[in-house]
Structure 1
Amino acid sequence: MQTSDTFIGEVEPGRTLTLPADGTGITVIDPWLKPFEEPLRHRFSLYKNWRDRIEKDGKGYENFTRGYEYFGFQVDPTSKVITYREWAPGVVAASLIGDFNAWNPESNKMQKDEFGVWSCQVPPRQDGSPGIPHGSKVKISMLTPQNERIDRLPAWIRYVTQDLSVSPAYDAIFWNPPEVYKPRNRPPPRPASLRVYEAHVGISTQEPRVGTYKEFTKNALPRIARLGYNVIQLMAIMEHAYYASFGYQINSFFAASSRYGTPDELKELIDVAHGYGITVLLDVVHSHASKNVLDGLNMFDGTDHCYFHEGAKGRHDLWDSRLFNYGSYEPLRFLMSNLRFWMDVYGFDGFRFDGVTSMMYKHHGMGVGFSGGYHEYFNEGVDEEGVMYLMLANDMLHKLYPDVITIAEDVSGMPALCRPVREGGVGFDYRLSMAIPDMWIKILKEQTDEQWNMGHICHTLTNRRHLEKSIAYVESHDQALVGDKSIAFWLMDKEMYTNMSDLTENTPIIDRGIALHKLIRLVTHGLGGEGYLNFEGNEFGHPEWLDFPRAGNNSSFHYARRQWNVVDDHLLRYKYLNEWDRAMQTAEEHYGWLHAPQAYISLKHEGDKILAFERAGLLWIFNFHPQNSFSDYRIGTNMPGEYRIVLNSDNKMFMGHERIDENSSYFSVPGSYHGRDHSIQVYIPTRTALVLVPKERLTWAQNALSQ
């Protein structure tokens, strides 16, 4: 029976348990957490206290998270009166200044309430238009107790422009256009399988400059849709002063970066993506903020501790940035309202939270190697206020938006990170499997092909917490950045500049690189998680790394772009990798292996370099051997019957050698083999992967791509 002390939790489809309601429910699901009931109970009580305070003082999530409708600039649609509010408890006077009042701090003085919120109203003009024209430059001017006048960009401003030829280079713009973009498409249903395309609008042009929202909508979205991705994760949208920060040094949290275009153009991008059936996630940065003063939140009211912790606790030494005070009422309202703002105003469908490890630990993950021992997650190194904020944020988002998706970037392996808050979890839907790309880079850097260990590869790909979803990937933006190489570059290096044309010899290096690029991606896709992620351009083996214009490269855009021309050139071999990526995504759409239970691995043969596993009713076979092909290789299976080919990396569409007849049928025979009740025999050439399916379940095969 459910009581106030317990609840019935569905821990997986069709399986329910009675769980305690004090934050220790996760210990019923994972008994290894039993010794840590007290810290789990304590952090849950911290979350619950804040949740109760939000209910009492903030009138619940619904009201508390609408700060963007109260703070900043609010225009009454009837009277056209503009109300401006700002939280700045550390100053003794404040004024709204801008083009509209000749920057005179005496013209629009603000009044302070008991909570440190300053406000003023700007009446309409005689012609009835708003007193601040659309597009005007604005600032808040304040006096500190030391009688120092400080001017700041409004904290809740929605549009900020840059002109690097002048100082200060950043202007807050009063954004109040006469008409705003109205979405035409409904957001798609939450996908059962996440196939994520990680993208950066600015680099999404092949020209050496900053790309735009309009260009991304016109040029990139059709590519992404054709490939079969159903989720886009947009980076560097929140306004950041330094382009080379990759969008991870935020200055204005409510402003969509103007370097790519206008707010309406971003809204159109998201709306068109929805029309393609694509979910759009924002790469949100609440783990830290730019330390800039004149154009950021740092020292906003002249104090060290307005939005941030004061002193050393409020500074991230490695990132050279400021750290939020998650245990303070107004910073909480600011951040939680920020999440809701991007959902409500722009139409995003969820978030990838950056830097979650830094938020959850006082040491921010710096100089700490997580071994996986549970004691590492429940000790004095944990930042309970950071964990509490993430619990509140996830709880709020999932209550207000049932279809929302939240993804955590965490390297620590925090248990219950992706379990519901009421169980004692942190509430995310997915975590990024950050060990997988590290494994592939390490293998390619340090091992010969003969040294690849099938058991180690399988262990890394499947080493994830039961009942917590993860997103697998071979490489994200982290691996593309200058100082490292992409997987394609590790495999083929300088020959990518000379031997990627169909008119040139297929050298051993190119042949190996193309083959392994396909196998590495497919085994990660099939075995590695409940979601899959690709960074834009890597689907076709982008030929160069990523490096933003900065002093160290003479402000060059040469590497801050994506060379779509190489994949569009039908004489170049990049097209084969692109089509293989499309085949993987399309097959997953039909067979849904990402949202199927984890695979059963029946074979890891170190000598033959053969892997075989079953997942989603499919039989997956990989031959990683650098020389040996195998005829009539026996593979165990629990699925009897006739098999047909779904995917074959040796197909000529993918620059294979066509050694396999794709019209072949494979018939199982009874008898125990590799722990399975049946087996089949296949021809599996060197560096080839096959995915087979019982004939009666054949709904799609790769030859459909060419029809």
Structure 2
Amino acid sequence: MIQKTAPYGLMLSDLYLFNKGCSYHSYRFMGAHVMDWEGEEGVRFAVWAPNAKEVRLVGQFNNWDRTGLLMERIGSTGVWVIFVPGLGEGAVYKYEIATFSGERLLKADPYANLAERRPQTASVVSDLRGFSWRDQKWMNTAKNKTAYSNPMIMYEVHAGSWRLKGKEDFLTYDELAQQLVPYVAEMGYTHIELMPLNEHPFDQSWGYQITGYYAPSSRYGEPKQLMNFIDCCHAHGIGVILDWVPGHFCKDDHGLRSFDGTPIFEGNDKKLAEKPLWGTLAFDFKRNEVISFLISNAIYWMDMYHFDGLRIDAVASMINLHMDKPPELFTWNEHGGTDNLDALRFMKRLNETVFHYYPDALMIAEDSSAWPAVTSPTYLGGLGFNFKWNMGWMNDVLRYMSYDPADRTHYHHLLTFSLLYAYTENFVLPFSHDEVVHGKRSLLNKMPGSYEEKFAQLRLLYGYWIAHPGKKLLFMGSEWGQFDEWKDRDPLDWMLLDYPLHGKMKHYVKALNHVYAKEPSLWERDQDATAFQWIDVNNAEQSIISFIRYGKHGFTVTVANFSRNGYSHYRLGVPQPGCYRMILGSNEGQFGGTDSRSKRKYNSEKLGWHGYNQSISIYLPPLSFQLFRFVSGDTQ
């Protein structure tokens, strides 16, 4: 007879699926679990260490005694297990792994739900059961909303530097719920995208070099506090996305590297494993147990914490075997190419699995490659993500804005080229943390010209960004024109809001966000190429562009002037006769501009222009963005 259970209630069927790479909820049986076993309360520990000679549990509870608490190996599964009666939440522990080469390694639990606050590195028993979620309405509503045809404007946040109470005195998850969530709701963002919260040893890695994939960082509190934060977001109508890093992990001794004395997470081929640019190791996407570990982790954040989606980091680096590597580390696939076929298979299965359990999840690829069909379904040959960052648009438009307005006539294509491919993927237009660090300067400080012109051009840039097809992402502090680069050890420069132009910039971004949310034409048909129409695409001489965005029941007209020249009577072709109301202008005085004119409605004239039979004559200030809504067929 086949044994169905392993020691202490573990199911052999679960371990079989784990070994086959098909366990998508492995966190339910791996790691530390508070439980009752045969009438005794305690904690069961289970760890995968297939090449270990023996594994012992050590911790504060036994004074880190390396001679006791020998774990039991479960056949050929590579999993070791022990039940310790009397233990409960808060127990601090590690696994001591004896290798066949004679080493004795102290390792944190790869499946731990909590870790000690750095610089300490042990795991901590944490029972995730019992949190009283109040977001059922949100969860049910989310199931009925299609992300593609709804507004999405994400606020990217580094939890350790949005605000600080003092040097390395971080806001807790509860304090972020009290301060960050109302701020984001007031500003009109639809989602918060959190830079990685997984436990990591080095603050300046920003969470992208992880040791605890299942542990939200203890810098900011405990797991149930994070649950409360997300619950609070949902109560305010805000979705939450987590930056997730399946491509590589850090080399710290207590982490995944050579976990049982052999490279079980990173694989034996050092050329494949090494990520020299970051000093990290890539996961071995051939190994079944690694696939179970990673896909379970993606599911874990949605299952246990109610995250609404994941932004997958460094997809291009996962795809390309040569990316960011010196020639001596080059490898080729079985066909002689540079595509990482195992990573591609992993991403497809990841997305298939996530959407099986969470059909409305957001799976967003941070991908700078030209790989085709990243956001196409896997059954059509795609990678299966539902959104991809548009890095090409971001690089082109920031390069364009870096030129003095007098020189932009030579670079007009950088503004317009994106519409040749804007509908090939489901895009997010990102102004992320990556664009405001390492000497790149803040978005405001990238703008050329005088102090006032910098603000005018940033308002113009944001207007073009909001009107361009694609979902949106903006890094924290950019909403008021942070002047310095992001400083990850210090809080944002909130004092800048005391200065008029910064305060008015924040007011502008708030107004822009709310206008975006109320204008279906700006997001309702984001994936429909027929919903976009240029009015004037070729006006390089004046550095002006204009276009139409169509919704299901109306349309808006955008005019953006990237030059220092203003026009008292700029004639603009329009598709229908009637009244056009300016619903937002970046040069308005309330936003820091110079325009005090009260006229906001323009009736069309039967005067052909830009290929249309109708046109309007508008005041077009220099370095300005204007958005018009067609409001009526009545010209009176």
> Which segment is superposed worse, 647-656 or 457-466?
457-466
Match for 1:624: what amino acid?
A: F
Aligned length: 594
* TM superposition shift of 1:436: 3.0
* TM superposition shift of 1:580: 1.1
Q: For 1:277, which of 237, 258, 264 is the aligned residue?
A: 237
Q: For 1:204, which of 137, 143, 162 is the aligned residue?
A: 162
SS of equivalent residue, structure 1 residue 479:
helix
Match for 1:395: what amino acid?
A: E
Q: For 2:455, which of 509, 514, 519 is the aligned residue?
A: 514
* TM superposition shift of 1:400: 0.7
* TM superposition shift of 1:633: 1.6
Match for 2:45: what amino acid?
A: Y
Q: For 2:436, which of 461, 476, 480 is the aligned residue?
A: 480
Cα gap change, 1:56 to 1:594, in 2 (>3 Å): farther
Cα gap change, 1:277 to 1:488, in 2 (>3 Å): same
Q: What is the distance in 2 between the residues matched to 1:424 and 1:240?
A: 35
Cα pair 2:351 2:363 within 8 Å, conserved: yes
Cα pair 1:669 1:680 within 8 Å, conserved: yes
> Which segment is superposed worse, 357-366 or 266-275?
357-366
Q: For 2:97, which of 125, 138, 142 is the aligned residue?
A: 142
SS of equivalent residue, structure 1 residue 595:
coil
* TM superposition shift of 1:357: 0.5
SS of equivalent residue, structure 2 residue 286:
coil
Q: What is the distance in 2 between the residues matched to 1:266 and 1:281?
A: 13
* TM superposition shift of 1:463: 4.3
Cα pair 2:18 2:289 within 8 Å, conserved: no
Matched, 1:182 2:132: yes
SS of equivalent residue, structure 2 residue 421:
coil
How is 1:199-348 mapped onto 2 (pairs within 5 angstroms)? 199-205=157-163, 207=165, 208-209=167-168, 210-294=170-254, 296-348=255-307
Question: Corresponding residue for 2:534?
Answer: 601
Q: For 1:655, which of 588, 592, 606 is the aligned residue?
A: 592
Cα gap change, 1:424 to 1:60, in 2 (>3 Å): farther
Q: Runs (4+) of structure 1 moved beyond 4 Å? A: 54-57, 59-63, 365-368, 444-448
Cα gap change, 1:238 to 1:486, in 2 (>3 Å): same
Q: What is the distance in 2 between the residues matched to 1:609 and 1:307?
A: 51
Question: Corresponding residue for 1:69?
Answer: 28
Question: Corresponding residue for 1:171?
Answer: 122
Question: Corresponding residue for 2:76?
Answer: 115
* TM superposition shift of 1:226: 0.9
Q: What is the distance in 2 between the residues matched to 1:454 and 1:638?
A: 28
SS of equivalent residue, structure 2 residue 447:
helix
Match for 1:84: what amino acid?
A: F
SS of equivalent residue, structure 2 residue 289:
helix
Q: What is the distance in 1 between the residues matched to 2:319 and 2:313?
A: 12
Could you state the TM-score of these two structures normalised by the residue count of structure 2? 0.88
Question: Corresponding residue for 2:61?
Answer: 100
Question: Corresponding residue for 1:542?
Answer: 482
SS of equivalent residue, structure 1 residue 631:
strand
Q: Over residues 71-122 of structure 1, what are the superposed CA-to-partner deviations in whole Å (9 max), with x where a residue is unaligned?
A: 1112225743422111111111111111222323343211222334333332
Cα gap change, 1:695 to 1:454, in 2 (>3 Å): farther
SS of equivalent residue, structure 1 residue 673:
coil
Q: What is the distance in 2 between the residues matched to 1:393 and 1:133?
A: 33
SS of equivalent residue, structure 2 residue 504:
helix
Cα gap change, 1:55 to 1:157, in 2 (>3 Å): closer
Q: Over residues 32-78 of structure 1, what are the superposed CA-to-partner deviations in whole Å (9 max), with x where a residue is unaligned?
A: xxxxxxxxxxxxxxxxxxxxxx9996399997211000111122257
Cα gap change, 1:327 to 1:59, in 2 (>3 Å): closer
Match for 1:382: what amino acid?
A: D
Question: Corresponding residue for 1:40?
Answer: none
Question: Corresponding residue for 1:390?
Answer: 347
Question: Corresponding residue for 1:83?
Answer: 44
SS of equivalent residue, structure 1 residue 201:
coil
Q: Over residues 121-176 of structure 1, what are the superposed CA-to-partner deviations in whole Å (9 max), with x where a residue is unaligned?
A: 3243xxxxxx2232121011121112322111111111112353xxxx31211123
SS of equivalent residue, structure 2 residue 291:
helix
Q: What is the distance in 2 between the residues matched to 1:56 and 1:75?
A: 19
Question: Corresponding residue for 2:556?
Answer: 618
Question: Corresponding residue for 1:630?
Answer: 567
Sequence identity, in percent? 25
> Which segment is superposed worse, 437-446 or 268-277?
437-446
Q: What is the distance in 1 between the residues matched to 2:570 and 2:622?
A: 12
* TM superposition shift of 1:454: 6.5
Cα gap change, 1:367 to 1:591, in 2 (>3 Å): farther
Cα pair 2:16 2:77 within 8 Å, conserved: no
Q: What is the distance in 2 between the residues matched to 1:383 and 1:118?
A: 29
Q: Over residues 190-233 of structure 1, what are the superposed CA-to-partner deviations in whole Å (9 max), with x where a residue is unaligned?
A: 44221111111110115543333222211111111111110111
Q: What is the distance in 2 between the residues matched to 1:308 and 1:254?
A: 21
Matched, 1:565 2:495: yes
Q: What is the distance in 1 between the residues matched to 2:211 and 2:409?
A: 45
**Structure 1 residue runs without a partner (length 5+):** 1-53, 125-130, 369-375, 493-507, 549-556, 699-707
Cα pair 2:408 2:543 within 8 Å, conserved: no
How is 1:363-382 mapped onto 2 (pairs within 5 angstroms)? 363-364=322-323, 380-382=337-339
Q: For 2:509, which of 552, 556, 581 is the aligned residue?
A: 581
Question: Corresponding residue for 1:702?
Answer: none
Q: What is the distance in 2 between the residues matched to 1:340 and 1:665?
A: 50
Question: Corresponding residue for 2:10?
Answer: none
How is 1:658-697 mapped onto 2 (pairs within 5 angstroms)? 658-662=595-599, 664-670=600-606, 672-696=608-632
Cα gap change, 1:176 to 1:534, in 2 (>3 Å): same
Q: What is the distance in 1 between the residues matched to 2:420 and 2:176?
A: 36
SS of equivalent residue, structure 1 residue 121:
strand
Cα pair 1:287 1:355 within 8 Å, conserved: yes
* TM superposition shift of 1:280: 0.4
* TM superposition shift of 1:467: 4.7
Match for 2:372: what amino acid?
A: P
Could you state the TM-score of these two structures normalised by the residue count of structure 1? 0.79
Cα pair 1:143 1:149 within 8 Å, conserved: yes
Cα pair 2:18 2:26 within 8 Å, conserved: no
Question: Corresponding residue for 1:413?
Answer: 370
Cα gap change, 1:379 to 1:583, in 2 (>3 Å): farther
